[in-house]
A and B are shown apart, each in its own frame.
Chain A
Amino acid sequence: MSTIDPTAPAGAAGSDRSRRRLRSSLRQAAAGRIAVLPLLIFVAVAFGVPAVAMAYGAFTTYAPGQPTSYTGGNLTASLQGGYLNALEGSVKLSATAAAIATVAGLLLAQAVVTSRFEALRHAVLSASGVLANFGGVPLAFAFVATLGNAGVLTTRLHLTGAGWSLYTFWGLVLVYLYFLIPLMVLSVIPSLDGLRRQWREAAQNNGANLVQYWRFVALPVLTPSLLGGFVLLFGSAFAAYATAAAMVGASVPLITLQIADALNGNVSADASNVALAMSLDMVVISVLVMALYLPLQRRSARWLV
């Protein structure tokens, strides 16, 4: 960011005008950098320092009054036994919930997009925008009140006798879908809108039936955005903590719950460095998620004119 691109503003008509623009844009570039400086400093302090402390702590031992030493032990421990279980549990839960939400979100979005009622489309889009931002404590409570052990539906329909429990893997999947499906609807609707009617008509004119149209035309076009959506959903479910934590008594091992337990000192005093190592594991997975998501998103934007 130390060089200024002089070609950008020089395209303006008139040499005198463009020179004046160039000069003012040089001044603006300098002013721009000063205007951005507080943000950069803030992020460096409030985000950079804790992040570095987390990464540093993941590779060191820490005890008050004793010298710290470098170790790979935390990371090894974070990938063993109960901790590994929790990591696998998180990945499995997130992947399952994201996969189901991808299919369900696509179906719902398609139903909305092809509907003749403009109001329905607006209602679903607005509701999705709200619900996708909604996870956490109230969501967990709503499900506990409805389908928990003393929940309204559980007691009235005697679901416990039928083997139902909200505090299991599939129970959590059901809860997570509540914010994942709307997120999928939001991310796939622009691509569905990008499917031109002419493509379907062209396919029909060439003798394709509905299945063939979807198999050979629509899905290939949608694949990047569906994959991108899946990855986004996965990342969102993977990082979720509050929802699972508020469903007290859930027996599903999750990495976020493990980290919180270790930080709260519920496990043992020296587990906190393992918690940092687990956090680092999470960051690595999140970076992978982003590295997959961004190119897919760019790819899916190609069909949207």
Chain B
Amino acid sequence: MAGVSSTLYDPITTAKHGRTGKRNERSRPRLGRAAILLISGLYFIGPLVGSFVFTVDDPVKGFTLSAYSQIFSVSGLWPALQLSLLLAVATIALVFLLLIPTVIAVRLGTPRLRSVVEFVCMLPLVVPSIALTSGINILLRWGTDNLASTPFWDTLLAIQNSSFPVVLLLAYVVMALPLAFRTLDSGMRALDVRTLLEAAQNNGAGRLRAIVFVVLPNLRGAMLNAGMLTLALVLGEFTVSSILGYTPFAVWIVNGNSAGDGPVTTAVSLVSMVLTWAVLLILSVSGGRRSSAAKPA
């Protein structure tokens, strides 16, 4: 789901163009504009308000916050959340490990290297996550049927270990690649890496030291951005984990709901949604402020 749809508002490109407003507005377009904004506002806020009312309004007892107090006691939530967070941390780590050397190399390398890497990182966009899941599913089934008497059996079991399913980690990193690459790459493009590296090396730093202590600190903003987007992706991921039979956060919400915990799961989902949005919003706002502060007056 996050594949093609993942375009976080990029404050740098949009801020550049600024506003092309028209001064002499007549009242008719202004009225139309107000109507459009009002309808959009209602549409986008309605479901949030609706689900909040749904969680606090008990048909018998009236207003109650019990759905929210139950969040702390409902069974299965913490293990599910733990699994999701663990996977998120591992995914972010692996994404950085793979992509940071790549974006530096791409920035320094030939255009040809860039187009190869861009192509590879965009590949997951043409395979929807459910199609990827079906491929993983058939591989695991084939492994179960054929590897029982081979040394690979333990490997097969290990990557499916339900306390830390490596197979999910692999899938998530693949799914995070397109967005993470674009984010890190655009952060990298804003840096004059060659000059930074040459300056560091003229001052006697080795190449690795120059990258770790000079380039990476300058890439902090983009890394934070990519990390948060990956976190949001992993916390909300449902397709791969539900079909492969694991129970991270999003799967727990759906299962709990069909088990009859309606208001509680809706409360959990609302809380998770608001928290994710808050993180992404802070990111987007602080990103906008940084770039406008960096602009010469």
Give chain A's interface residues, CB within 8 Å of chain B.
Answer: 1, 3-5, 8, 25, 28-29, 31-33, 35-36, 38-40, 42-43, 45-47, 49-54, 57, 62, 64-65, 104, 107-108, 111-116, 118, 120-122, 125-139, 141-147, 150-153, 177-179, 181, 183, 186-187, 189-190, 192-197, 200, 232, 235-236, 238-243, 245-246, 248, 256, 259-260, 263-264, 272, 275-276, 279-280, 282-283, 286-287, 289-290, 304
B247 at the interface (CB under 8 A from A): no
A-B pairs with beta carbons under 8 Å apart, 28 shown: A28-B108, A32-B108, A32-B110, A46-B174, A53-B135, A54-B127, A54-B132, A126-B284, A126-B285, A133-B5, A135-B236, A137-B253, A145-B51, A145-B266, A146-B50, A186-B7, A190-B14, A235-B4, A236-B1, A236-B5, A245-B254, A248-B254, A259-B134, A264-B243, A272-B138, A279-B130, A286-B125, A286-B127
Apart from A130-B280, A279-B134: 18 A-B pairs, beta carbons within 8 A: A1-B112, A29-B113, A43-B121, A47-B127, A52-B135, A115-B21, A126-B285, A134-B277, A135-B1, A138-B253, A141-B269, A193-B18, A193-B20, A197-B22, A242-B236, A248-B254, A282-B128, A283-B126
Contact of A133 with B6 at beta-carbon distance under 8 Å, contacts A36-B106, A138-B272 already known? yes
A236 to B97, CA, bound (A): 28
Residues in A with CB closer than 8 Å to B254 are: 137, 245-246, 248
Q: Are B50 and A153 in contact (CB under 8 A)?
A: yes
B246 at the interface (CB under 8 A from A): no
Residues in B with CB closer than 8 Å to A47 are: 123-124, 127, 132, 174
Nearest-neighbor residue (CB-CB) of A284 within chain B: B126
A200 to B243, CA, bound (A): 53
Q: Are A241 and B269 in contact (CB under 8 A)?
A: no
Residues in A with CB closer than 8 Å to B14 are: 125, 189-190, 193
CB proximity of A148 to chain B, nearest CB, Å: 9
Residues of chain B in range 13-38 having any CB-CB distance to chain A below 8 Å = 13-14, 17-22, 25, 29, 32-33, 36-37
State the majority secondary structure of interface residues on B: helix
A141 to B22, CA, bound (A): 41
Nearest-neighbor residue (CB-CB) of A45 within chain B: B170
Q: Are A51 and B132 in contact (CB under 8 A)?
A: yes
Residues in B with CB closer than 8 Å to A107 are: 36
CB proximity of B221 to chain A, nearest CB, Å: 15
Q: Are A141 and B51 in contact (CB under 8 A)?
A: yes
Number of B interface residues at 8 Å Cβ cutoff, please give it.
109
CB proximity of A93 to chain B, nearest CB, Å: 14
Q: How many A-B pairs with Cβ below 8 Å? A: 338
B88 at the interface (CB under 8 A from A): no
Cβ contacts B255-295/A at 8 Å (1 or 0 each): 00110001001100110110011001100110010000000
Neighbour of B5 across the interface among A8, A179, A272, A280, CB < 8 A: A179
B3 at the interface (CB under 8 A from A): yes
B242 at the interface (CB under 8 A from A): yes
Contact of A129 with B8 at beta-carbon distance under 8 Å, contacts A114-B29, A137-B254, A141-B51 already known? yes
CB proximity of A120 to chain B, nearest CB, Å: 8
Residues in A with CB closer than 8 Å to B20 are: 113-114, 192-193, 195-197
Nearest-neighbor residue (CB-CB) of A65 within chain B: B145
A128 to B10, CA, bound (A): 11
Q: Are A241 and B129 in contact (CB under 8 A)?
A: yes
Residues in A with CB closer than 8 Å to B112 are: 1, 3, 5
Q: Are B265 and A138 in contact (CB under 8 A)?
A: no
Residues in B with CB closer than 8 Å to A248 are: 254, 257-258
Q: Are A46 and B138 in contact (CB under 8 A)?
A: no
Neighbour of B7 across the interface among A118, A183, A235, CB < 8 A: A183
B105 at the interface (CB under 8 A from A): yes
B83 at the interface (CB under 8 A from A): no
Q: Are A38 and B101 in contact (CB under 8 A)?
A: yes
CB proximity of A10 to chain B, nearest CB, Å: 13
A13 to B82, CA, bound (A): 57
Residues of chain B in range 127-150 having any CB-CB distance to chain A below 8 Å = 127-139, 141-142, 145
A303 to B18, CA, bound (A): 15
Contact of A132 with B174 at beta-carbon distance under 8 Å, contacts A54-B135, A142-B50 already known? no
Residues of chain B in range 24-61 having any CB-CB distance to chain A below 8 Å = 25, 29, 32-33, 36-37, 40, 43-44, 46-51, 53-55, 57
